Amino acid sequence: MRPLRSRITGRQRGLAAALACALSLLALSVIVPASAGVNWFWTEIGRTGLDSGQRFEAVETWDQSGTEDNWYSYVEFLSGPQGHRSVFLMEPVGSGDTLTITINYRGPTGAYIEWDMYLVDQTNENWVNVLDNQGLPDWVWAERSTTITDAGRFLDADGHIVVVWQTADTTDASQLDYLKLSLSGDAPPVPPTTSTTVRPRSSITIRPVTSTTARPVTSTTARPQPTVELPPTDTWFDYQIGGAYSPHSRVGIVSRDWYDAEAEPGLYNICYVNAFQAQPAGSGNSARADLLENWPSDALLGVQDQTWDEEVIDIRSEYSRRVAFNHVKQMIDTCVEKGFDAVEFDNLDTYYRFPNFISMDHAVAYARMLNDYSHQRGLASAQKNSAELIADGSHRKAGFDFALVEQCSVYNECGVFADAYDSNVLAVEYRRQAFNNGCGNPRWDFPFVLVENSSSAPGVDPDVPRDFC
């Protein structure tokens, strides 16, 4: 278990050492600020975006909606090796016998990762689950609230409430733009007459046993998600990431570079983005965000892919994945602005080629962030190669919609992708025999394109003749 990491206000700084070292009761009467709100904050497992300039006071103001991403207006909670648990000591606003909890949440949907909010019942020291992210949209700000009628059992002798925000999953983060506890009603609640405030014990499991009390009915306000469109299945496909040119009249799908090319009118357009490696320094227009010199240093692993002279992106931690994701977002936005229908994120398989540094779980977590945002912007997302993801269903966890694969005939992987995506597969081959084998196999009901110059892949020379089936 990691050491406790305190995040406290300036008024509380003098208590930091004592509070961090002693797992004893909190000196609540000493650290209550003048205004109602968050009194004290600590993270037991994992870490939060507070290390990157965020302040927990941001949750007092509701100022984010839709897909807005003002880093300093919310707090991000990053899961660590054992998940995540943050504990807040809060002073509810107002007085009364009912408690209303309201949050403005953005993060993964509960069907993918469940984030839960618990209150500590001071009468019996139980955890009570009061809110979660079930039914909320992926990475779009959404309101969730609940009202509890027996608020007294959650108040300590000083009128404070211990709030826990946590997940047992290690894969992805969540964000809170707003968190408010309000008391109202006919009569003020009576705090328990038992011992002073109970601090949640460090030995409690990351997935606490919930109370027998039924989970409160919650209300949700969320914007509908855009519908993504998959590629057509009855047309030819051309791979033009090395340079755009007028496609063959029978081509209905084309993949082109996000920066150098525009979408082809009337076709299904896939936007090529190298999200897992940095393009070589000085290899293109200096304004390209994917060039090595334009990537944030915190997103670079310091490991070179010697084949393409590209540096591998660091996706090992929640923090580095978020830095990389925030950088790639501008490329995805450009794809949308240019009218593309889908996106392919290249070098997904870095986990396979650099296993000493990157794991499959790292790649899936990062891909999920990219895919979720792409879906929010109305783009479908293609799994680029990496057949290994399919065996345990990781391709579904990552959120891919279809596959765009290179040399599946050479590596005997066409069937793997067909089983996972049916006819929603686009295949690129660089050898004539492999292309013929793929086209001649009646099991593969998806298009193949031949780019007959393996030395030019994946930067395809537009002058090299194509063949299609």
Given a contact cutoff of 8 angstroms between Cβ atoms, the answer to whether 125 and 25 are in contact is no
pLDDT score of 52: 56
Q: CATH topology of 5-221 equal to that of 236-468?
A: no
Which string of b and e fits 26-63 if b means at least 16 CB within 10 Å?
Answer: bebeebbeeebbbbbbbbbbbbbbbeeebebebbeebe
Q: What is the mean pLDDT of each run of 10 residues along the chain (469 residues)?
A: 22 27 27 43 62 74 86 81 79 84 91 88 85 90 90 84 86 88 72 42 35 35 60 94 91 96 97 97 92 94 92 92 93 96 97 94 94 94 97 93 96 95 95 92 92 51 68
pLDDT score of 162: 87
CA distance 256 to 76: 34
CA distance 450 to 469: 9
Cis upstream peptide for 458 (omega within 30°):
yes
Q: Any idea which fold 5-221 has? A: Jelly Rolls (2.60.120)
Cβ neighbours for 395, distance < 8 A, ≥ 6 positions apart: 383, 389, 420
In 219-349, which residue ranges form alpha helices assigned H by DSSP? Answer: 318-337
The strand pairing partners of 38, in sequence order, are 90
Q: Report which of 156, 45, 187, 149 is spatially closest to residue 90, judged by C-alpha positions.
A: 156
Instruction: Quote the strand ranges of 34-186, DSSP E.
Output: 37-45, 47-48, 75-78, 84-91, 93-94, 98-106, 116-121, 126-132, 142-148, 161-167, 174-184
pLDDT score of 347: 97
pLDDT score of 316: 92
CA distance 241 to 254: 9
CA distance 226 to 124: 45
Residue with tokens 């003048």: 34
Q: Report which of 91, 79, 41 is spatially closest to residue 199, judged by C-alpha positions.
A: 41
**E strand or H helix at 433, and its extent?**
helix 432-439
Given a contact cutoff of 8 angstroms between Cβ atoms, the answer to whether 206 and 82 are in contact is yes
- Tokens representing 75? 């707090």
Helix axes 318-337, 360-376, angle to 10 degrees: 40
Q: Report which of 76, 83, 63, 90 is spatially closest to residue 151, judged by C-alpha positions.
A: 90
- φ, ψ of residue 3 in degrees (nearest 5): -65, 160
pLDDT score of 40: 61
Residue with tokens 């025999």: 433
pLDDT score of 70: 82
Domain borders along the chain are: 5-221, 236-468
Question: What is the number of other CB atoms lying within 10 angstroms of the CB of residue 386?
Answer: 25
pTM for this structure? 0.57
**With the C-alpha atoms ordered 150, 154, 158, 160, is the resulting torsion angle positive or negative?**
negative
Amino acid letter for position 328: V
As its CATH architecture, domain 236-468 has Alpha-Beta Barrel (3.20)
Amino acid letter for position 40: W
